[in-house]
Amino acid sequence: MSRSGARRRRGHGEHKGVGKDYKVEAILNDAFVDGVQFYEIKWKGYPDSHNNWVTEWDLGCPEILAEYNRTRTQNTADVGQFYKILKAAAEHHPITVRNTVDQVGYPEDFEYINESVYSDEVPRPCSPMFPCECKDRCTADCPCIRERYYDKDGRVQVEAGTALMECGPKCGCGKDCSTRVVQQGSGVKFEIRRFAHKGWGVVTRAAIARGTFIGEYVGELISFEEAEERGLADSAMGLTYLFDVDMACTGGEVADFSIDAKMQGNITHFFNHSCQPNMVTHPVYVEHRDPRLHRMAFFAACDIPAGEELAFDYSPAGSDGGGARFDCFCGAPSCRGSIFL
């Protein structure tokens, strides 16, 4: 988003661009950047890929702007630095930012990444994969689809927590194969929004169908020992960004490795807790089958309407497990009142 991307004002919400008239269909969002108010514009007759940001004086449609200002509170915090961080995002749709609560801007020292990075003490996975020899898409007799984890629309259709096996980079099938869902990235339209009491969270700007892939939890892959040390410090501050990679654990065993998204992460870094979550998690295998180093993906647990916050249960067992207790502000009807980190 920059001032150079703004279209010059033509009056009455009409703009000239690439030899065509552009008319404002709707104002989708606003951002306060370097002391200037910008608005995200949906152009009539054009797909979302043509949306861009303009200033108020380049907008030229006072009636639409007045209606937008009447129905939505504008950002008051300068989120320009936030958008610089989000330039690295590989999501299919641009991520927007909204803060009408306080003057807090972007998280200091946070790096937006699109895949997890391995710390020095974590081994690189080497469990062998047996690639299929299908062309374009996996055929009915392909072992890769012996278990159908996704329906024809790419929505997960197995119980939460079930490990999902996707075709890997050595498989002969193409990128449109029905098994390749998580590895294709998220198609959700995200907005990072500031909430009172909870801080930053994420809402969806469009409705999401049950079973839809929402995002992969990425960060720094670290050892159990390192996770324990970081976890003690984070819990004391009321924070938690550690996600145990525990598919291989049974009977009270602890995970060998964890994903820490505190300093490096993607949109999932901003997901908040809810005692009545609308997302579930699944371990996912793509490049290898090492159960200690699987990927972790979020899917919609139900149909999620536009504007609803995306959240998962930080402590589904509902007990402390030795962690620190904090008041819960999730606001769910079944809120437990406390969360343990």
Burial 46-82 (b: 16+ CB within 10 A, else e): eeeeebbbbeeebbbbeebbeebeeeeeebebbbbeb
Q: Is 275 annotated as a binding residue?
A: yes
**CA dist., res. 88 & res. 86, Å (int):** 5
Q: Is 142 annotated as a binding residue?
A: no
Q: Is 249 annotated as a binding residue?
A: no
Mode of pairing for the β-strands spanning 190-195 and 257-260: unpaired
Measured on CA atoms in the order 166, 170, 171, 174, is the torsion positive or negative?
Answer: positive
**CA dist., res. 7 & res. 52, Å (int):** 9
**The two three-digit tokens of residue 181, written as one number:** 């869902």
* DSSP summary character for residue 160: T
**The two three-digit tokens of residue 252, written as one number:** 């009270």
Q: Is 330 annotated as a binding residue?
A: yes
User: Which CA distances in Å does 321 have to 70, 235, 271, 315?
Assistant: 47, 12, 22, 9
Start-to-end CA distance of the chain, whole Å, equals 37
**CA dist., res. 54 & res. 30, Å (int):** 9
Measured on CA atoms in the order 132, 135, 138, 142, is the torsion positive or negative?
Answer: negative
State the CB neighbour count (10 A cutoff) for residue 37: 14
**CA dist., res. 323 & res. 301, Å (int):** 26
Q: Is 144 annotated as a binding residue?
A: no
* DSSP summary character for residue 70: H
Q: Is 138 annotated as a binding residue?
A: no
**Annotated binding-site positions:** 132, 134, 167, 171, 173, 177, 275, 328, 330, 335
**Annotated binding-site positions for Zn(2+):** 132, 134, 167, 171, 173, 177, 275, 328, 330, 335
